[in-house]
Structure 1
Amino acid sequence: MRTLPAPLALALVLALGAAAAAALEPWEEGTVGRPMPFAEARAMPPEALAARGAALFAARFTEAEGAGRPLATQADTPTRRRRPAAQAFQRLSGPDANSCAGCHNQPQVGGAGDFAANAFTAEGARNAEFDVLDPQFSSERGTTHLFGAGLIELLAREMTAQLRTARDAALARARATGAPVVARLSAKGVAFGRLVAHPDGSIDAAGVEGVDADLVIRPFGQKGVVGTLRRFTVTALNAHHGMQAAERFGARWTGSDDFDGDGAADELLAGDVSALVAFQATLPPPSPEPPEHPEWRARAARGEAGFAAMGCAACHVPALPLESLRFTDPGPYEGAGTLRAGDVAAPVTLDLAALAWVARLPRDAEGRALVPLWGDLRRHMMVDAQVSGFGGELLSQGFVGRDVFITAELWGVGDTAPYGHRGDMTTLDAAIRAHGGDARSARDAYVDAGDAARADVVAFLKALKVAP
């Protein structure tokens, strides 16, 4: 399949998406068009569904179609405000953006965002209308890129299944033997501690590390608290745009056709959410090539070796194997507040193996696709008494410790500055030096390595670009 230049390809996708919406004339104000039910999304060809999602991702939502939430908060759980919002847009507690692409745009649509695109989260603040930067009230987050997001979710699903299989096997053995069984947890070579299964069916999860006690890998967000693209999408639509998905905010769940009191009901149906998921899930992953500049190429090669020798690759794992490229939506681990597999007769199915960019993925000896994410989908403590560059937060998120963050995938890092969970680190060198806690020994090895070795590591990371 011939690859189109990026601007032409995006224009084609947006045109197809606009055609898929097929409800607005070009002189009319609005972007969404007629909301799309799930059955219609499932019947669409995958390319058309993803194109519809691309159009929605770039859409600048209007009040007439539901943008804004005067009587609802940004909280995950549908929660009403005490009083109507004083203004349609609020930079901190939101709504804070006209479109998804308003923040996800570097180096192209679907990418990361500058510091100016930072968002704010306030765990547990059900009626939060915070308008201060004080970390007592909110935590600041930089915008991460979405390239390869479908592969990330598929890896998370398979790792979750592996961890739960180990847990279930330990429970079965404990019941059979009448004695506690210790299960060491590992998925795709990544260690997640251990648990103890008891004959009565109870679990001691005190030794579980880097994942919640339910063993569901949640790969999205700086803290690793969002498990699926669908949940990410539904939550972001409400928080950032005031566009509310019926599967969470519809009358079936909230008792109101217009929960947020903006005069629009059923702002986005399940098919619209599936279209957005399809667009994100089929975004090609970063596909760097060795730099053409001979000195840069030599430095990057030395830097990759140094990166491993310093211990950085223990968490920033170069690649993880993927058994299946079949992406279903809704997926097997959707939670409350999103459409679930049991809610539909059959899911939307996207065969990522049919996409042209999949041919670029390396394969292992067993024929599995190797996803070169430079990450491990695991949470780590990132702060200690001496190095606390990733500290400073006062609120937990999703019951994850304040100084605990998921390993950042490094694919695309050369094109997606700034760095750190707040996007306030302007160089890779600064971000590496900020690593404490579980990453302290690797950070110290980098600091002690000398100017030339450090420059080589940075040259290697700068070569991990989104596209050639």
Structure 2
Amino acid sequence: MILLGSLGGPLAPAMAQEPTWSERAIRQRIDPATLAGPLSAEALAELTEQGRALFEARFTILDGAGRPNATQAIVPTRSRRPAEHAFQRLAGPDANACSSCHNEPVAGGAGGFVANAFVSEGFESAEFDTLDPQFSNERGTNHLFGAGLIELLAREMTVDLTAARAEALKEARASGTEVRRNLTSKGVDFGRITALPDGSVDLGELDGVDDDLVVRPFTQKGVMTSLRQFTVNALNQHHGMQPDERWGTRWTGTADFDGDGHDDEIGAGEVSALVAWQATLPAPREIAPQDAAWRKAAARGRDVFSELRCTSCHRPSLPLDSLDFADPGPVDTAGTLRTGDVETPAVYDLALTEWAGHLPRDAEGRVLVPLFGDLKRHRIADTRTADLGNETLAQRFVERDVFMTAELWGLADTAPYGHRGDMTTLDEVIRAHGGAASESAAGYKDVTEADRSALIAWLKTLRITP
């Protein structure tokens, strides 16, 4: 592991002088005041290297790892009983490092079944010590490659949807009549709204997005707005490292909310470095296999994918106008650093990365993000095919059998499959599709064995390329 103190770049003064063999994972802090405006290629490279070191760091009690008097809840919540164990697989902390779970095929990747996380509804105290599904949902670990592009797409889609709402309200007020408006962005249909002259909006026909029209692209339920929110939550839940932007004095009145004797365990600068590293992870790619028979089968498989209308949800690409990733972002809520909390957000230009040059563009110059997804929630199970509706605890107001469309890029390197990671083959998870995907799943079962094999051959060309 590269020690953070050895990296150079925008570091705050060193912590108390310690020998190089110290068991602290964090030796120096990153001054968030130095992260403002567009970062140069050199500065971005330094910051992302610091983020990589933090992602792979094995936090210790000397850093403040553990939360003896706090819970995993996203709202800072005191524990009702003393922690019995430093680590607890169900309610956490359950990992030393981010890379303990995100590690296949490399750091930032997915995790095997052994790395499953137990996810509560989130707002409650989250003190449970049972596998009973009424208390938590067991989830597989998603990969993070291409995550910066995903968040940028979600931000632009949110702008489109909220602008449509504003236009409909303006028209309703001016005309004195209700205005019904379709909500679409980047070719994805999110249903309809009806704006009323009194300024209210009927949201009864929304489809696959929250009532505030914010597209939340992260986690399998689509309930996390940003990499920053995901990172802040995970640091506390999985490691017991409390970022001060949520658990610090501003919000809780104390610098040591979890009562472990360590103040301000993770600063805004460290969170920013983690966000920068995740945001600049390369986009997965479609890699043609060297084997001629595989290439031929994969070419047919891509056609089968389209013929079965899998592309209605797993869209091959979505257009992106800008590669400028601002941090903090524009739509986070209290408890995560927001645009208004800083004088000038940092901007990470993803075009400075080597991998961005491989991304295709359309005739208008927009980047075509090859995610094979739509950043929308769908009902994915029904009474006939219930395998992917295997959760009983609703999360963040999202119904139990409703999940985000899984982006398929990187699929070949992220087995096992399904929300719980309990399906070992692609054939299994395709057959398990119900609800909105039931026709495609039925079509898959009806095609020839050769076409099913060809589809698998193509899916296994969607690779993570670090």
* Band of TM-score, shorter chain: over 0.9
Task: Indicate the residue corresponding to 2:408 in structure 1.
Answer: 410
* Cα distance, 1:15 vs structure 2: 6.6
What is the TM-score when the length of structure 2 is the normalising length?
Answer: 0.95
- Distance in 2 between residues matched to 1:127 and 1:176, nearest whole Å: 47
1:96 maps to what in 2?
94
Structure 1 counterpart of 2:32, one-letter code: F
Shift of the 97–159 alpha-carbon distance from structure 1 to 2, 3 Å rule, reads same
Whole-angstrom CA distance in 1 between matches of 2:140 and 2:204? 31
- Tell me which amino acid in the other structure corresponds to 1:19: L
Is the CA contact (8 Å cut-off) linking 1:60 and 1:99 kept in structure 2? yes
1:35 aligns to what SS in structure 2? strand
How far does the alpha carbon of each residue in 1:422-464 deviate from its partner, in whole angstroms, 9 at most, with x for none? 1111000000011000000111111111211111111110111
- Corresponding residue SS for 2:212: coil
Aligned partners of 1:204, 1:349: CA distance in 2, in Å?
A: 36
Give the whole-Å Cα distance in 2 for the aligned partners of 1:288 and 1:174: 46
Q: Could you say which residue in structure 1 is the equivalent of 2:71?
A: 73
Task: Report matched runs for 1:17-166 at 5 Å.
Answer: 18-20=6-8, 25-42=19-36, 45-123=43-121, 126-166=124-164
Q: CA RMSD in A?
A: 1.5
Corresponding residue for 1:362?
360
- Give how far 1:40 is off: 3.1
Q: Output the CA distance in 2 between the equivalents of 1:450 and 1:16.
A: 55
Q: Counterpart amino acid of 2:287?
A: E
Identical-residue share of aligned pairs (%): 58
Counterpart of 1:64 in 2: which secondary structure?
A: coil
In 2, Cα distance between equivalents of 1:302 and 1:15: 48
Residue type at the aligned position of 1:375: G
2:396 to 395, 398, 401: 398
Q: Equivalent of 1:321, from 288, 301, 319?
A: 319
Give the Cα–Cα distance (whole angstroms) in 1 for the partners of residues 269 and 378 of structure 2: 36
Partner AA of 1:26 in structure 2? T
Q: Which moved more, 1:69-78 or 1:39-48?
A: 39-48
Mapped to 2, the partners of 1:18 and 1:432 lie a distance apart of 47
Q: Which runs of 5+ in 1 are unaligned?
A: 1-10
Letter of the 1:33 partner, please give it.
R
Output the amino acid matched with 1:459: A
Change (3 A) 1:441 1:116: same
SS of 1:184 mapped into structure 2: strand
Matched ranges for 1:214-229 at <5 A: 214-229=212-227
Q: How big is each residue's C-alpha offset from its partner over 1:400-422, in whole Å with a ceiling of 9 and x where there is no partner? A: 00000000000000011011111
Deviation string 1:238-271 (CA, Å, 9 cap, x unpaired) is 0000000000000111111110011101001111
Aligned-residue offset at 1:18: 4.2
Whether the 8 Å contact between 1:233 and 1:277 is mirrored in structure 2 is: yes
**Structure 1 residue 356: Cα displacement:** 1.0
Amino acid at match of 1:32: I
CA gap of 1:312–1:17, structure 2 versus 1, over 3 A, is: farther
CA distance in 1, matches of 2:34, 2:261: 25
Q: 1:255 aligns with which of 230, 236, 253?
A: 253
1:291 maps to which of 269, 281, 289 = 289
Secondary structure of the structure 2 residue equivalent to 1:65: coil
Structure 2 stretches lacking a partner, 5+ long: none
Once the 2 structures are TM-superposed, how far is the Cα of residue 354 of structure 1 from its aligned partner?
A: 1.4
AA of the residue aligned to 2:425: T
Change (3 A) 1:112 1:408: same
Residues 1:282 and 1:124: Cα distance change in structure 2 (over 3 Å):
closer
CA distance in 2: counterparts of 1:93 and 1:301, whole angstroms: 45
* Amino acid across the alignment from 1:27: W
Q: Say if 1:368 and 1:16 are closer, same or farther in 2 by CA, change over 3 A.
A: farther
How far the C-alpha of 1:384 sits from its partner, in A, is 1.1
Paired letter, 1:218:
R
SS in 2 for 1:438: helix
Measure the CA separation in 2 of the matches of 1:380 and 1:216.
16
